[in-house]
Chain A
Amino acid sequence: MSCNVIEPASTGHAGIKPQVSLGYVTVCYGRRAVFSDLSMRVKGGEVLAVLGPNGRGKTTLIKAIVGIQALAAGTRDVVGSVGYVPQSTLTTFDFSVREIVMMGRARHIGLFGSPQYEDHLAVDAALRRLNLADLADRSLSTLSGGERQLVTIARALAGSCNILVLDEPASALDLKNQRVLFDILRELAIKDGMVVIFSTHVPGHAFAAADIALLMHSAGEFEIGCVDEVLTDTTLTRLYGTPVRVVVATGDFPRMAAAIAV
C-alpha cells in the first residue's frame, strides 16, 4: 500500500521490517462466523485503523491479529514480535506502575527466572518514553484512565515489541489524552518503524492517526485502503447505517477531520 507513508527512520529489529498479514481469515463463535475471508497486510511504519460499528467484531479481529483468537480458517503471518494493549486492564491486585510494566518483560524472563539488569533498563526506558517515570511507584488504582492506557502501552513496549496492537485505545480518553495517545502511536510508526494497529468506532481517530483504514461492513465485506480514499461520506454512511458526512478542518491542521452523523 502506498498511502504517503513516511519511510521510517529506523527499521526496528536488526533491519528486518516488521509485518503482519492475514490471508482469508475466518473466525467463528460456535457455528456463527464473526467474519470470514478477511485479508490484510500492514508493514513497519504504517498505522492501520480498524473501523466498524459496535459488535461488528473489531475486538475479535484485534485478538486474531495478536494471536490469542483461534482461527477457523486462513493464515496469520507475523514478522516481528507483537505487543498487545487490551481495551481495559483490570487488575485484581493493586500492583505499582513499575511492577505492571515489568510484566511486559515476561517473554524475556524464564519460567523460574527473575527480572535482571537489562529487564529493569527496558522498563525504565519504556516508562521514560511515555513520560511515566514520575508515576513509576504509584499504584495503578490511583491513576486516571489516560495514564492507565499509557501504562499498558509502556508494558507492551517494555517487551521490545515492534508490532503494537491496541483495542479501542482512545475510547475512554478525553480530547487532550487522545491527542497524546495518537502522537505517540504516530511516533512509534514513523520514528521506530513499528507496525501500529488499533481499533475504533470513531472515524476521526483514523483521520488523526492512521495511514490505512479497514472498514468492517459485514461479516463478509471489508474495505481496506488509504484513509483519505476509503473514508468518505458514502463508505462511512454504509458502515454505520446512518447518514455520515466527513468534515475537514480548514486552516493548517494536518490530519484533522471528523465524521459527523447528519
Chain B
Amino acid sequence: MSACSAARHGSASTTCKLGRFGRGVRWSLAVAALAMIIVIAIGHGRYSVPIGEAIAILLSKLVPIEPTWSRSAESVVTLVRLPRVLSAALAGAALGATGCVLQGIFRNPLVGPQMVGVTAGASFGGALAILVFGSALATVGLAFIGGLAAIVLVYFVSRIDTRTPIFMLILAGVVVSAGFSALVSLVKYVADPNNSLPAIVYWLMGSFAIATYQKLGILTISTVIGTGLLFSLWFRINVLSLGEEETASMGIAVERTRWLALGAVAFAVAGVVAVAGAVGWVGLVVPHIARTIVGPNHRELIPASALIGAGYLVAVDTLSRTLTPVEIPVGILTALIGAPVFIVILRRLGTKGWGRGG
C-alpha cells in the first residue's frame, strides 16, 4: 500500500502498523504457503509419494543427496508431477494477474480474460493446429498467434467509434470472441471424429495432463514477460481505474497505456491457452478474493492475484487428477467451483460495494 511508503518520512499512518518489515513477512508467508501447496500437490496422485521424499527428490537435483527412494518415485516426481504442477501454478498466476488488470482498466469487476477475445482467438489457433499439423509445438505456436491476432482485431473493431472507448472495447471483445468461436466450431465440424476431434475437444476443455518441460518453458516465458510488464505498470493501472476523462486530464496517454496493458494481457493469456487450453473463471474470481485481502491498489493486488491464482489452480488441478479414477479436465472443475463462488462474491459486493472487504 502506498500509505506504507509515506510512513517512511514520518506521517502517522494507521493501516501500516506492520511497516515495511511486516509487509515483507506477509509476502514471504504467502510465497511459503504457495510452495507448500506445490510440494503437497507433487506428492499427491495415483502414485503417492510422501511429502518428505518428494522434497528430497526435488532437492537432489540441486544438491547431492543419497537416494533413499525408488526410481519410479523419482520419475513420477520429476518427469510427470513437477512440470504439471509448475505449469498449473504459472497458468494460475497469469490468469489471476491478467484478470485483476482487466478489471482495473475496464473499471468493471465482472470482466475476465475471456472477455477481450484472446481466449477464443488462441482456441481457434490451437484447434486449427491440431487439425492441420497435429504436433504439440504447432498447437502452442498457432494458439499464440491466434490470441495475439484476436487482440489486434479487437483493437481495430473498437476504433470504429472512439467516443466511448471502454464500451466499444468490451463490445469488440464479444464480437471477436463470437467470430472465433464459430471458427472453432467449423474446425471441429471438419475434424476427423476418430482422431483429431477428440484431441481438439479435450484440449479446449483445459487440462495440464500432458505438461512437458518444453511447454513449461513456453509458459514461463509468457507468464514472466506478461505479468512482469503488467506489474511494472501498476501505478498507471491505478490511475486508469479512475474515470476516462479524469485520467486524460492528468496528462497521461490513456489509450497508449491501456493498449500496452492489453498487449501484455494477451501475451500472458495466449501462453496459458496454448499450453493448457481454455481454463475459465480463474481470472474472474481470484482478483475478488485478492482485493478483499490487500485492497484495490494494484501494487499489491497484482502480485496477490498472481499468488492466489497459482495456489488455486494447483489445488484444483490436483483435485482434477485425484477426485475420480478418470481425470476430470481442470477447465470443467474451475467452472464448477468458480460459478457458485462468483455468485457468493456478487451477493457480498451487492451489499458492501466493490471495496476492500472486511
Contact = CB atoms under 8 A, between A and B. Distances in A.
B341 to A, nearest CB: 20
A120 B6 contact: yes
B156 to A, nearest CB: 21
B72 interface: no
Interface in A111-134: 111-115, 117, 120-121, 123-124, 133
Contacts of B291: 93
Contacts of B109: 92-93
Contact of B2 (A63, A99, A107): A99
Interface in B339-354: 353-354
Interface stretch (A20-28, A135-143, A237-245): A135-143
B212 to A, nearest CB: 34
Contacts of A89: 242-243, 246
Given A95-B238, A120-B6, A67 B14 contact: no
Given A89-B242, A120-B9, A137 B251 contact: no
Nearest to A127: B11
B107 A95 contact: no
B11 A124 contact: yes
B251 to A, nearest CB: 4
B243 A93 contact: no
A187 to B, nearest CB: 22
A159 B250 contact: yes
A228 interface: no
Contacts of B235: 106, 109, 113-115
Contacts of A205: none
A171 B77 CA distance: 66
A91 interface: yes
A95 B297 contact: yes
26 contacts: A67-B249, A68-B245, A68-B248, A83-B249, A84-B249, A86-B243, A89-B242, A90-B243, A91-B242, A92-B107, A93-B104, A94-B295, A95-B296, A95-B297, A98-B2, A98-B6, A99-B238, A104-B250, A106-B235, A107-B251, A112-B232, A115-B235, A121-B9, A124-B11, A137-B16, A139-B355
Contacts of A120: 2, 5-6, 8-9
Interface string B33-63: 0000000000000000000000000000000
Contact of B239 (A63, A92, A103): A103
A34 to B, nearest CB: 14
B227 interface: no
Interface in B239-260: 239, 241-243, 245-252, 257, 260
Q: How large is the interface on B (under 10, 10 to 19, 20 to 34, 35 or more residues)?
A: 35 or more
Interface string B1-39: 111011011010111100000000000000000000000
A96 B9 contact: no
Contacts of A92: 107-109, 241, 354
A121 B6 CA distance: 8
A109 B247 CA distance: 13
A85 B250 CA distance: 10
A107 B238 contact: no
Contact of A114 (B8, B299, B354): B299
A136 B6 CA distance: 10
Contacts of B241: 91-93
Contact of B6 (A81, A112, A124): A124
Q: Which 8 A-B pairs have the closest CB atoms?
A: A93-B296, A84-B249, A107-B251, A94-B355, A106-B250, A92-B107, A112-B232, A68-B248
B233 interface: yes
Nearest to B106: A92
A112 B232 CA distance: 5
A103 B238 contact: yes
Nearest to B234: A114
A107 B354 contact: no
A190 interface: no
A195 interface: no
Contact of A115 (B5, B232, B233): B5
